[in-house]
A and B are shown apart, each in its own frame.
Chain A
Amino acid sequence: MTLYLLCLALFSVGLYGVLRKRNLVKIIIGLGIIEYSMNLFFVLLGYRYHGRAPIDAQAQDILNMVDPLPQALVLTSIVIGLGVTALVISIAIRIYEKYGTFDITKIKRLKG
């Protein structure tokens, strides 16, 4: 239970970064932290204490096995996160070229 709560704490840290920080790069880092906390949470869901690796061998019962599916899913999710982060960072670099600043309060040519 403690581990899940720590995941929640990590998620909150990331959300705080996205919502409160003014620097574009810090916002992107916050987004990364949110993604990590999600992935960690998903892996923890499939974890068993004193479990063994999910290799299906004979003469071993299936009971005490770590669930391999979340690990596969989290790999996909990490790749998606990488794509988003790369795109957002390249946009941030372009924004810096246009506006000359990373401060989000100075980047507001759009009305709302």
Chain B
Amino acid sequence: MQNANIIPLFVIIPLAAAFLISLIGRYVSLRFTNAISGLACFMLLGFSLYSVYVLQAQGIPALVYKVGGWAIPFGICMVLDGLTAFMLVTVNLVAFFVSIYSLSYMDKYTDRPKFFTLFFLMLTGMNGLIVTGDLFNLFVFLEIASIASYALVAFGTEAEELEASFKYAIMGSVASSFIFIGIAFLYGFTSTLNMADMAQVLNSKPNLWVVPFVTVLFLMGFGLKAAIVPFHAWLPDAHPSAPASISAMLSGVLIKTLGVYAMVRVFFNVLGVSQAVLSMLMFLGALSMLVAVFLAVSQWDLKRLLAYHSISQIGYVILGIGLGTPLGILGGLFHLFNHSVFKSLLFLNSGSIDYAVGTRDLNEMGGLKEKMPLTSSTNLVASMSIAGIPPFNGFFSKLIIIFACLQKGYLGYAVAAVIGSLLTLASFMKVQKYAFLGTLKEKYSQIKEVPLAMQFSMICLAIICILGGLLLLPALKFFLNDAVNVLLEGREYARVVMGLSGR
């Protein structure tokens, strides 16, 4: 199976880029660093789109790559199935535009090689976490991505940034410990670390307390990584403190990969979900949705406001997936994709404002529309998307989630979703009013629109926001449906993976 050989490339390419940049980036011109990072991200995007194509063209549920040629329960394996391909496209799409944007944006900071090294290490961790089929490997990649993100949050090394990074690092490490203990218990019970094998053992071996106990540990660990409400305290500090392009990566894809994807993969495909777990997920999702949006409305720091909205939108994703019906999971995953696009666009917009005007305080801005038409219009597109105004992609995913709630009879959660959406609209009206409308302040009469590379990323992401709804068309729906089917099949995942490995 030759096609399976593309799977390790998702780890190799960013790792090689990080290595090259850190090794020789300091001694050669910046153009070299730029070229390598652009090329690596472009290749990753290409391969992730190709992986979707391969799965569709061959009509097979999954590709399995065995590292070092060891048979499956003994060696480490990498699995490419519908959900993996979906997440790879999401992560690498955002990473590509963010890296293009950073080429210009990082002029504000010194030491660009170090930035790109950490950036690619974070990407390695995320891609590796997505493709791996081994539970301990998942933990290792999760830690790689986490450590790189702790360092990136502190990248500016100002007092606030260090403080946020310290808080984030401590909480993140405690969360990782819970995940590690969960893995240890699972290993002690099943004597295997391969996720497919583990699912089979759990299927055949009766257990009373291991699965519920491990579920709670993972809910704490991954929930903290995903910043669901009772565990969200680090996010509003950490995400605004990073450079804007990294905030886009953190809010756009990191919390979804490390938190939502890992949690959903382990819960649905390995541990198996019960109604109690689903109810818990739905409740936490609805709670994050409402609590975070109330906190967001009152913020005056633009990036902090956006960070609170990340928590709130993750709530929608969790609520949708927690419903457990095909429609709900479809809505949740579609919203995950949409949110990663428009939230990274919003953070890039805030970075552009910071780059041109030099402030993040909404009170300081005003009338930027005439000086920065492009930032203003892309921001309008993203705001409308996140608030769920009809032609944009956010509308469709929220609509699906609300329909799914109604279909299953959860009227309260549907109403909560609508209220959350309205408050989101209100807070983005506030952003539009204070940042872009109104009169321009005297001292900002000299500001200019941002450089071309930054404009390019923002325009492309805005176009994806507008066209995102097209993914629901029958011709393109396989992209989402394949991902949904992986979650719906539950522990059948084991049979798929083991079957393909020739056993």
Contact = CB atoms under 8 A, between A and B. Distances in A.
B187 A45 contact: yes
A41 B184 contact: yes
A39 to B, nearest CB: 9
A78 to B, nearest CB: 12
Given A76-B140, A88-B169, A110-B164, A18 B159 contact: no
A42 B135 CA distance: 14
B238 to A, nearest CB: 10
A17 to B, nearest CB: 11
B444 interface: no
Contact of B163 (A18, A84, A107): A107
Nearest to B146: A84
B336 to A, nearest CB: 26
Interface in B160-219: 160, 162-166, 169-170, 173-174, 177, 180-181, 184, 187-188, 193
A38 B160 contact: no
A6 interface: no
B293 interface: no
Interface string A69-100: 11001001100100110011001101100110
A66 interface: no
A20 interface: no
A95 B169 contact: no
B174 A34 contact: yes
B236 A91 contact: no
Interface stretch (B147-155, B339-347, B364-372, B402-410): B147-155
A73 B136 contact: yes
Contacts of B184: 38, 41-42, 45, 70
A35 B184 CA distance: 13
A80 B173 CA distance: 10
Given A34-B174, A38-B181, A45 B159 contact: no
Contacts of A35: 173, 177
Given A38-B184, A109-B160, A112-B237, A91 B165 contact: yes
B180 A87 contact: no
A109 B173 contact: no
A87 B177 contact: no
A84 B147 contact: yes
Contacts of B81: none
B143 interface: yes
A77 B166 CA distance: 21
Contacts of A18: 170, 174
Contacts of A24: 166
Interface residues of A, number: 33
A15 B140 CA distance: 22
Contact of A27 (B170, B187, B237): B170
Nearest to A19: B174
Given A45-B184, A109-B159, A112-B233, A31 B173 contact: yes
A108 B164 CA distance: 10
A34 B233 contact: no
Contacts of B193: 69, 73
A99 B174 CA distance: 25
B143 A80 contact: yes
Contacts of A107: 163
Contact of B157 (A42, A84, A94): A94
Contact of B147 (A76, A87, A94, A112): A87
A111 to B, nearest CB: 8
Interface string A11-23: 0000100100000
Contacts of A84: 143, 147, 150, 169, 173
Nearest to B172: A84
Nearest to B304: A111
B169 A91 contact: yes
Contacts of B166: 24, 88, 91-92, 95
A98 B161 CA distance: 11
A110 B169 contact: no
A38 B136 CA distance: 14
A9 to B, nearest CB: 14
Contacts of B170: 18, 27, 31, 88
B230 to A, nearest CB: 14
Nearest to B171: A18
- Of B154, B173, B181, B233, chain A has the most CB atoms within 10 Å of the CB of B173
Interface of A: 15, 18, 24, 27, 31, 34-35, 38, 41-42, 45, 69-70, 73, 76-77, 80, 83-84, 87-88, 91-92, 94-95, 98-99, 107-112
24 contacts: A24-B166, A35-B173, A38-B177, A38-B184, A42-B187, A69-B187, A73-B136, A80-B140, A83-B143, A84-B143, A84-B169, A84-B173, A87-B151, A88-B150, A88-B173, A91-B150, A91-B165, A91-B166, A95-B166, A98-B158, A98-B162, A108-B163, A109-B160, A112-B236
- Nearest 3 pairs between A and B by C-beta? A98-B159, A45-B188, A42-B184
